[in-house]
Chain A
Amino acid sequence: MRAVARPFRRLRRHLVVIAGLGTLAYLLLPNVIVTVFSFNKPAGRFNYEWREFSTDAWTHPCDVAGLCGSLSLSLWIALWATLGATLLGTLAAFALARHRFRGRGAASGLFFLPMAMPEVVMAASMATLFLNTGVAFGFWTILIAHITFCLSFVVTAVKARVASMDPRLEQAAQDLYATPFQTFLRVTLPIAAPGIAAGALLSFALSFDDFVITNFNAGSTVTFPMYVWGAAQRGTPVQINVVGTAMFAVAVLCVLAGQLAGRRKNRRRGSRRS
């Protein structure tokens, strides 16, 4: 009896591990497929079925018309959208987290609202504005739209960080002869920096990957997600998978390198301590 029961009990103990790893596999499976199919040599225009191994796409990533152009446009837009949203959002987050004033609740709600709205609604309403005011769709309309929806995320990230900061730190700085400006530069900003960086990173990722809002406000301008969308209708070049795989690899490597650097720093500290 016992001998039979034991494997079952062990299975039950590890059920959460098995289920969790199953979910992780579900999350990562598409990335595996994207990577594998970046080495495919499809027969037709669509890269959905495996045919044979090839590194053509990796050696000639820009051979497909428009792909690399759209990629650099997306990076460019993401960069400016990040700058704009981070600047506006950080200022607002400081006001909301640091000050008590009339209308604070309303302002806080206004900054939250864009996140609580389905993207398609925001996309259509912004396009309506541009149509009605006669603004030509293109780079600028995309940029404006991206800043608008990234703003909320920056405010949320920075606000959380600033709110958790001990106000006595700024008082201590002032007590130690730092003028208000020096206090901001030397204490407030460095301590808020991780929140600002998180907001900026999120903005960059959101802007770079945005399709819905861009779809409504781009006109004939083609960002990378727009390119992929078009490709899904006309034919998917393998180079799309190359870009996807490269982005995934770069992201994972960056994070792991950061972790490794942090760990080495800790180890150095640890050895000094002993």
Chain B
Amino acid sequence: MTTAAPAPAPVRETAPARSRSARRVPYRLLLPGILWLLLFFVAPLVYQASTSVQTGSLEDGFRVTWHFATYWDALSTYWPQFLRSIGYAAVATALCLLLGYPLAYLIAFRAGRWRTLLMVLVIAPFFTSFLIRTLAWKTILSDGGPVVGALDSLHVLGLTDALGVTEGHRLLATPLAVVCGLTYNFLPFMILPLYTSLERIDGRLHEAAGDLYAGPLTTFRRVTFPLSMPGVVAGTLLTFIPAAGDYINAELLGSPDQKMIGNVVQSQFLRVLDYPTAAALSFLLMAVILGMVTVYLRRAGTEDVV
């Protein structure tokens, strides 16, 4: 019979020594990456924060004067661009969800042996520079092009003109074109997380729901969609955040009337060289997005996405 040994052997010396060096391993692995981010991600933000409260001019140099009024001035001057950014991004995100969901669903459940090919076709456009692809929209939406012709003959453009999303029976240089470009550019960011979460759903759940008297629509509403929520949340975030900060689509497909906040930051920084205003706008944009994302995640109830 085995019982407790009367005098247990003393704790060996090697064990704690080995584990102490083992405890340092993760820090050593992390060190290069953390240092890099501190130098080139955190430090820039600190510099930017300091810049945002500086005053001065390019000739005389900038000095920290704790001039917080820059924030207020920036906001009161550029609030239309802020609102427009949020609005365009929200509409583009909704469109991405609306367009992306059927495709993700199709690939996950109905594609069969075409699944791989469809996935390739979703990802492949990534490999062509997005600027080139966005310029292609200029051709597609051009005034004499077939799209404008078709929509005009169907009197759709008259309707959209009346709604204020297009102007003068053309598509280019209108809000519709910018939103269309944003939707196009960030659609894959919606489809991929949606597909990932849909693909994990056991197909038998659909059969079980059907067996329990749920029609196709009820099955979707009560089973499929709730189970794909992580993908919906991740996809909307991955779409909304970059869309709200984007300035390419507004620049290439819009007119000065469709400028978003990204365009303002870009021109303040690179053309006007008003660094404090650019920095303040950056921080405001960041704050607005972080605030909205936090509220959204609270309401969506999933904190641990991506």
Does a CB–CB distance below 8 Å link A and B in the complex?
Answer: yes
Question: Footprint of B on A, CB under 8 Å?
Answer: 16-17, 19-24, 26-31, 33-34, 37, 48-49, 87-89, 91-92, 94-96, 98-99, 101, 104, 107, 110-122, 124-129, 131-132, 144-145, 147-148, 151, 155-156, 205, 208-209, 211-212, 215-216, 224-225, 228-229, 232, 236, 240-241, 243-245, 247-248, 250-252, 255-256, 259
Chain B nearest CB, measured from A76 CB (Å): 16
Would A27 and B184 count as touching, CB distance under 8 A?
yes
CA gap between A256 and B230 in the complex, in Å = 30
Chain B nearest CB, measured from A62 CB (Å): 17
Question: Footprint of A on B, CB under 8 Å?
Answer: 23, 25-27, 29-30, 32-34, 36-37, 40-45, 47-48, 51, 99-100, 102-107, 110, 116, 118, 120-140, 142, 144, 184, 187-188, 191, 237, 241-242, 244-248, 252, 262, 265-266, 269-270, 275, 278-279, 282-283, 285-286, 289-290, 293, 306
Would A116 and B129 count as touching, CB distance under 8 A?
no
Would A27 and B125 count as touching, CB distance under 8 A?
yes
Known contacts: A30-B133, A129-B47, A251-B127. The answer to whether A101 contacts B27 by CB under 8 A is yes
Chain A nearest CB, measured from B84 CB (Å): 15
Instruction: Say which residue of A29, A49, A118, A128 sits within 8 Å of B262 (CB atoms).
Output: A118
> Which applies to chain B's interface (DSSP): helix, strand, loop or mixed?
helix
Give the A-B contact count at a CB cut-off of 8 A: 248
Would B33 and A155 count as touching, CB distance under 8 A?
yes
- What are 18 pairs between A and B in contact, CB < 8 Å? A16-B102, A24-B103, A24-B118, A27-B122, A30-B184, A34-B133, A94-B29, A111-B33, A115-B306, A118-B262, A118-B285, A119-B245, A120-B247, A121-B282, A127-B269, A131-B275, A156-B306, A224-B129
Would A16 and B135 count as touching, CB distance under 8 A?
no
Known contacts: A121-B245, A129-B47. The answer to whether A244 contacts B132 by CB under 8 A is yes
CA gap between A48 and B47 in the complex, in Å = 42
When C-beta atoms are compared, the residue in chain A nearest to B42 turns out to be A110
Instruction: Say which residue of A16, A96, A120, A248 sits within 8 Å of B285 (CB atoms).
Output: A120
Instruction: Say which residue of A89, A155, A209, A241 sits within 8 Å of B130 (CB atoms).
Output: A209
Would B100 and A205 count as touching, CB distance under 8 A?
no
Chain B nearest CB, measured from A77 CB (Å): 14
Would A120 and B282 count as touching, CB distance under 8 A?
yes
Chain A nearest CB, measured from B98 CB (Å): 9
Would B127 and A148 count as touching, CB distance under 8 A?
no
B286 contacts across to A, CB distance below 8 A: 117-118, 121
Would B100 and A23 count as touching, CB distance under 8 A?
yes
